[in-house]
């Protein structure tokens, strides 16, 4: 995609600190990391959101992320790490090309990937469940 910064990185038009590459996947260090070793894993093919990817391509992405996570964990030895894909502006997606974050985390971090808990009305959970299953 022409105006996509990550497509430009895939093409080599913009440099990156490459961690891993294969036929379908590229992984590189986040330029503005939450913590040192914060790594991105992206499909070379442009998709905006994870759900737009065919299942086999999503599996390939996740396999590569698994491989890279092992290396990041060994190299950085963080106290913990989060795996995150933001999809859509409301979820915090700033770059419109699917990217999986591998984010080293520490107890002392002043950012937490935590959420407040919502709840279902009586009978609502079952309806939501049935609606999701309709599409599987
Ligand atoms: P998002 O908020 O879309 O989930 O995350 C986008 C991430 O991409 C951010 O963490 C940001 O620092 C990173 N990023 C944006 N532009 C570039 C770039 O040109 N190179 C690299 N390596 N990372 C980038
Ligand atoms: Zn792209």
Structure confidence at residue 19 (pLDDT): 98
CB 97 within 8 A of CB 4: yes
For the chain, give every domain's residue range.
5-133
| Atom 21 of ligand 1, residue of closest alpha carbon | 31
Distance of CA 129 to the CA centre of its chain: 25
> Which residues have CB atoms below 5 A from the ion given as ligand 2?
1, 4, 6-7, 46, 97
Mean pLDDT to the nearest integer, 15-35:
98
SS3 94: coil
SS3 133: helix
Confidence (pTM)? 0.96
Fold of 5-133: HIT family, subunit A (3.30.428)
CB 82 within 8 A of CB 105: yes
Asked whether the predicted pLDDT for residue 50 surpasses 90, the reply is yes
């Amino acid at each position: 995609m022409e105006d996509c910064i990550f497509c430009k990185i895939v093409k080599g038009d913009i440099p990156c600190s490459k961690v891993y590459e294969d036929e379908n996947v590229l992984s590189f260090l986040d330029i503005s990391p939450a913590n040192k070793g914060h790594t991105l894993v992206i499909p070379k093919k442009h998709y905006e959101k994870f759900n737009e990817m065919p299942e086999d391509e999503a599996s390939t992405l996740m396999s590569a992320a698994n491989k890279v996570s092992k290396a990041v964990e060994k190299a950085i030895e963080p106290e913990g790490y989060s795996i995150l894909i933001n999809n859509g502006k409301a979820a915090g997606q700033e770059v419109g090309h699917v990217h999986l974050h591998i984010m080293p985390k520490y107890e002392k971090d002043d950012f937490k990937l935590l959420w407040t808990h919502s709840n279902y009305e009586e009978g609502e959970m079952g309806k939501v469940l049935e609606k999701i299953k309709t599409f599987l």
